[in-house]
Structure 1
Amino acid sequence: MSRRVVRQSKFRHVFGQAAKADQAYEDIRVSKVTWDSSFCAVNPKFLAIIVEAGGGGAFIVLPLAKVWQIPDYTPMRNITEPIITLEGHSKRVGILSWHPTARNVLLSAGGDNVIIMWNVGTGEVLLSLDDMHPDVIHSVCWNSNGSLLATTCKDKTLRIIDPRKGQVVAERFAAHEGMRPMRAIFTRQGHIFTTGFTRMSQRELGLWDPNNFEEPVALQEMDTSNGVLLPFYDPDSSIVYLCGKGDSSIRYFEITEEPPFVHYLNTFSSKEPQRGMGFMPKRGLDVSKCEIARFYKLHERKCEPIIMTVPRKSDLFQDDLYPDTPGPEPALEADEWLAGQDAEPVLISLRDGYVPPKHRELRVTKRNILDVRLPSGPRRSQSASDAPLSQHTLETLLEEIKALREQVQAQEQRITALENMLCELVDGTD
């Protein structure tokens, strides 16, 4: 008699649930651009969504905290003037990706088939890769320390690129034989996970070893659909979530060192199709509820949070679910990375939840456009503008702002009283 052995995994029972209606963001006109993008980005504080607008290029930023303080001294306003404008592409930009460990290094790729790496703090072009892709670039992904790139292109070629050397170190033609767009991401083990289509238009996923691109480590057919699969990867749990454009489901798989290497876990299903998806960084999750992933699903006019949890009976911190995870602090300066240095991400503990550091020491060798500036008042000295604001300075500014608000309020009350006196005098004259 044969005995079926069930694979042991703490993620076999990941439970997905949509947030309550009062936690969704309503009346948002999500962009109708046909570019295969997630249209959404999220961090522990804010949610950014590309919205429909004449000429394109508009986005809305919403705070994740539902308790808002409406100021009484000035209304909220649209921001039309950017801090900095980066000009270098000749056609529309469709891909943006921050370097995982170097400060202010931003990658952009556009319809001109060019990849540019910028130092956003100074506005400089660090590197330009303009002769590696003969056609439209579908996806770009950094590896864990930002030393390599994985790209996919309309020419059906998967490339591994060393951006600082400007070299393609490995490539694989037709990792998926279909003509529809392909996506590629690095895994924690250094493998490449891909999504694409077969020659018969079936959606397919693959796992590849960049040191041997001849044969896939794993290759699985999924279903027949035209929706491009967008992969979101969590290196802490080694789970990849697949969100298809136009699908009403999220499928998730665990990647391991054991055959078949890509293990199906489960599917979260809902009634409405998704137009895009945002993925919360690990430090933005609620560890007290064993939350291991959170998505922000875009509908036609709504954004809906979807929470993934691992059921646990204990209320204690679950060490196995939350190893130290990459935090927001960079490990390198832009110039150090450009000079050839590599560093792994700076890890933080989530045992007490993520708490932003109060005293952040920055090492800036050049003037940084993104440094905090005073909106008005006396101009700071050049030496002060090159250094980050200390906690003491921030507290002083907050106290000054509070005092000014009180003065403005007192003046408004005085103006109201004078207007009333004027009205009384006019009435008496009549």
Structure 2
Amino acid sequence: MSFRVVRQSKFRHVYGQGGKRDDCYDGIRVTKSSWDSPFCAANPKFLGIITEAAGGGAFLVIPLSKTGRLERDYPLVSGHKGPVLDIAWCPFNDDVIASASEDCTVKVWQIPENWPHRSNLDEPVVSLVAHQRRVGTVVWHPTANNILLSAGADHVLFIWNVGTGEVLREISCHTDIIFSSCWNYDGSRLVTTCKDKKIRIIDPRTGDVLQVGKGHDGAKPQKAVYLKDGHIFTTGFSRMSERQYSLRKERVVVVFVVHQGDCTIRYFEITDEYPYVHFINVYQSTDPQRGMGFMPKRGCDVNTNEIARFFKVYTKGLCEPISMTVPRKSELFQEDLYPNTAGDVPALTAEEWFEGKNANPILISLKGGYTPSNQLRQLTVNKKPNILDKMPSKTGGNATNSVSARSSYA
């Protein structure tokens, strides 16, 4: 007599539910870029989607409540001279978004009140210029205000202080295109993947490479993310183009794995029990995803026990919300599903972080739902020279050009 023991888990019955047609966003001219990017970013207020635009690069910013078909003349965030490759919302200001482009620049935008307006937004608050080739990735620091990472096809990482427009650190340890970059929980380390099939752990303040490990053997893009306790989860391909994942260490967490061009979202639970990565289930749809946005935990609906929400972008111009929910009979707040999570207040200033201070994210309770903090939402701008912009003049002296502006917010 044999029987199968079912592993106990609070996430064992997680299921995905796609949005109804009225809950979707339609009429989107989805980008045709071949760059490996999510092309979509979400926060509790807005949805950002990279779009096709004539004569440069642009993306949409859509209030979450504005579902349905977009007007043909819906305004764009446009100001790049080349296609936009990546976008990322600031974790401490839901009105601020960074964009990276083929035009070799990074731009930071303030979305005005009562958006959308009648005209395009084409003036960024800050334009950051240092990369020599296209910029494919932008990632905000998880705990320090105004710290932004950018990675370019010039094989260089830049750590920016957006508040002064300065490059705090240039990191040139990669030998090929950088596929992905991720901060650890307190922002004291970086993990990157590269076309050279190596995984690097980097000190972002000094630029020192602390560890180099072997990545996946396949030539296709691979990704690496830090988990909360410092362990690293990677996805990639074998030499035979078979999909793979790896866990560098173990902890208890749920991860969702999404592949561009696939029709599925697979979810796994990671624990300290062998085999450490446990398959839970798969969400299947009929059409492949062109891109995928992910809602921060503070934007989830605690009243329906939603633990994650995706925004799936289709080639046909539709963006569909997909909710991951744990069914419970009780209508009470489920504390085990919602431990305190990162809020919208930074733990450090940019200067404190660069001077060597570390701090975990400031956590908030989601009991009763997320309530935005009383922060200042308007960026103020003051120009400041960038030392990397000092170029020798024809007469042998130095000419200083300001590449960006100063922005500060509480």
Alignment partners' CA distance in 1, 2:55 and 2:155: 22
Alignment partners' CA distance in 1, 2:319 and 2:38: 12
Q: Which residue pairs with 2:138 in the alignment?
A: 96
Q: Which residue pairs with 1:337 in the alignment?
A: 353
1:288-307 alpha-carbon deviations (Å, 9 max, x no partner):
00000000000111111001
Deviation at 1:361, TM superposition (A): 8.1
* Paired letter, 2:6: V
Deviation at 1:386, TM superposition (A): 10
* Paired letter, 1:118: W
Question: For the Cα contact (< 8 Å) 1:297–1:305, is it kept in 2?
Answer: yes
How large is the Cα RMSD of the aligned pairs?
2.6
Distance 1:55 1:167, change over 3 A: farther
Higher strand proportion, which one?
Answer: 2
List aligned pairs for 1:8-407, cutoff 5 A: 8-66=8-66, 76-130=118-172, 132-173=173-214, 175-209=215-249, 238-300=253-315, 301-358=317-374, 360=375, 369=381
Question: For the Cα contact (< 8 Å) 1:240–1:254, is it kept in 2?
Answer: yes
Question: For the Cα contact (< 8 Å) 2:125–2:407, is it kept in 1?
Answer: no
Identity rate, percent: 56
Deviation at 1:75, TM superposition (A): 5.4
1:72-109 alpha-carbon deviations (Å, 9 max, x no partner):
9x952211111111111111111000000000111000
Alignment partners' CA distance in 1, 2:157 and 2:56: 21
* TM-score normalised to structure 1 length: 0.75
Deviation at 1:187, TM superposition (A): 1.2
Distance 1:387 1:250, change over 3 A: closer
Question: For the Cα contact (< 8 Å) 1:182–1:194, is it kept in 2?
Answer: yes
| Residues 322-331 or 52-61, more deviating | 52-61
Tell me the SS of whatever aligns to 2:151: strand
Alignment partners' CA distance in 2, 1:312 and 1:291: 11
* Paired letter, 2:281: N
Deviation at 1:188, TM superposition (A): 2.0
Q: Which runs of 4 or more aligned residues in structure 1 lie more than 3 Å from their structure 2 counterparts after TM superposition?
A: 385-389
* Paired letter, 2:230: G
1:119-171 alpha-carbon deviations (Å, 9 max, x no partner):
112211111112x0011000000000000000000111011111112211111
* Paired letter, 1:119: N
Alignment partners' CA distance in 2, 1:2 and 1:184: 39
* Paired letter, 1:135: D
Higher helix proportion, which one?
Answer: 1
Question: For the Cα contact (< 8 Å) 1:241–1:250, is it kept in 2?
Answer: yes
* TM-score normalised to structure 2 length: 0.79
1:325-370 alpha-carbon deviations (Å, 9 max, x no partner):
0011100000110001000000000001010123x489xxxx9539
Deviation at 1:387, TM superposition (A): 9.0
In structure 2, the gaps of 5 or more residues are 69-112, 383-405
Q: Which residue pairs with 2:102 in the alignment?
A: none
Question: For the Cα contact (< 8 Å) 1:122–1:368, is it kept in 2?
Answer: no
Tell me the SS of whatever aligns to 1:283: helix
* Paired letter, 2:213: R
Distance 1:282 1:269, change over 3 A: same
Tell me the SS of whatever aligns to 1:22: helix
Tell me the SS of whatever aligns to 1:17: strand
Q: Which residue pairs with 1:427 in the alignment?
A: none
In structure 1, the gaps of 5 or more residues are 210-216, 218-234, 371-384, 390-430
Deviation at 1:203, TM superposition (A): 0.7
Question: For the Cα contact (< 8 Å) 1:101–1:146, is it kept in 2?
Answer: yes
Deviation at 1:179, TM superposition (A): 1.4
